[in-house]
Amino acid sequence: MEFLADYAGFLAKTVTLVVAILIVLVALAVLRSRGRRGGGQLQVTKLNDFYKALRQRLEQSILDKDQLKALSKEEAKATKAAKKQPAQKSRVYVLDFDGDIKASATDGLRHEITALLSLATPQDEVVLRLESGGGMVHSYGLASSQLARIRQAGVPLTVCIDKVAASGGYMMACIGEKIICAPFAILGSIGVVAQLPNVNRLLKKHDIDFEVLTAGEYKRTLTVFGENTEKGREKFQEDLETTHELFKNFVARYRPQLEIDEVATGEVWLGMAALEKQLVDELKTSDEYLAERAREADLYQLHYVQKKSLQERVGLAASVALDRFALTWLGRLSQQRFW
């Protein structure tokens, strides 16, 4: 028993020492990350090589030796002929935007666009694979302004939507000279919404006062805790209508073929119906479009990676875990609904 007690004491001291060392190391890492400036780097992937690798893997699995040998000779002959008469291929720059409510992906998008505009010409093309259900007006306004830089530079912009481009997502999509979407993608929602709870009556019930002091008649129109007035509601609604009008004018500027009052009702449409409304120009998945372009152009996927501090990496890991948990249960609920 005395031996076990001594061993337990030794083990406790060892664990304490290890934990103390880990705490010191984490603290040093945090201090070092604070002292560094946040930077990032641009990753460039040639998608032609990706498609070629897919094809070659399939050929190796299906074709026999004689067929592979004949195919190899044909490719060698074609490569030799191309070297003799080299043709300048156009370039296609592929960008991805997966939008949340704050359009956080704009941080990377702005750097990707700055990079490609330093090299792209009107003979090239930019393809944006866009997925977004919309969010904050000012955030998506900035994201849209970044895409407008491509149009202003005279470089063709094609927007591909496989799942959803609604509200702020469509604000971005409409800047494309060509909009392509999958048949069952969701588009539209050209409208503005704002909602907030008000617990003023609950506070009054419990004899709790909440004071709202402002300088400026409309500094606060609607509040969560204060008592809202009809005048404040009218002003808030007026602001929403103004924002909606600006949204409509923005879309009409880039898509003049639209009957804007017909589509700017806040409704959404699936791809097939969106084509009839002229919200899109063609029904096709982004994979199909890019595979076609890869036959005649060099495709380069750009992705700006921002270096993250230790705190951000820890927070990101926790966020991913929560997202996976939420998606798992959401998927189970959806399965039960459609069984």
CA atoms within 13 A on the CB side of 319: 6
Strands (E), the chain: 40-46, 90-99, 125-132, 157-161, 164-166, 178-181, 186-188, 268-270, 282-283, 297-306
Catalytic: 167?
Answer: yes
Among 291, 305, 306, 265, CA closest to 160: 291
pLDDT exceeds 90 at position 285: yes
Q: Which of 167, 189, 248, 286 is catalytic?
A: 167
Can you read off the two tokens belonging to residue 169?
């997502």
Q: Which of 80, 83, 205, 219 is catalytic?
A: 219
3-state secondary structure of 107: helix
Q: Report pLDDT digits (tens) over 35-55.
A: 444 578 999 999 998 888 888
- pLDDT of 332: 57
Instruction: Tell me the H-state helices in 182-309.
Output: 200-205, 230-254, 260-263, 271-276, 286-293
Q: DSSP states of 7-40 as a string? A: HHHHHHHHHHHHHHHHHHHHHHHHHHHHHSPP-E
- pLDDT of 198: 86
> Is residue 278 within a helix (H) or strand (E), and if so which, with residue range?
none
pTM, full prediction:
0.77
Cα(264)–Cα(247) distance, integer angstroms = 9
- pLDDT of 324: 66
Q: Report pLDDT digits (tens) over 193-242.
A: 888 898 888 888 888 888 877 888 888 888 888 888 898 889 989 999 99
> Is residue 209 within a helix (H) or strand (E), and if so which, with residue range?
none
Degrees to nearest 5, angle at CA 312 with 32 and 135: 145
- CA torsion through residues 302, 106, 153, 161, sign: positive
- pLDDT of 144: 97
- pLDDT of 199: 86
pLDDT exceeds 50 at position 111: yes
The secondary structure of residue 207, as a DSSP letter, is T
Cα(44)–Cα(62) distance, integer angstroms = 31
- pLDDT category of residue 83 using cuts at 50, 70 and 90: low
Q: What is the mean pLDDT of the chain?
A: 84
Residue 23 is which amino acid? I
Catalytic: 219?
Answer: yes
- Top mean pLDDT of 74-88, 157-171, 198-212 is at 157-171
pLDDT exceeds 80 at position 12: no
Residue 202 is which amino acid? L
For 179, residues 6+ apart whose C-beta sits below 8 A from its C-beta are: 158, 159, 161, 173, 279, 280, 281, 282
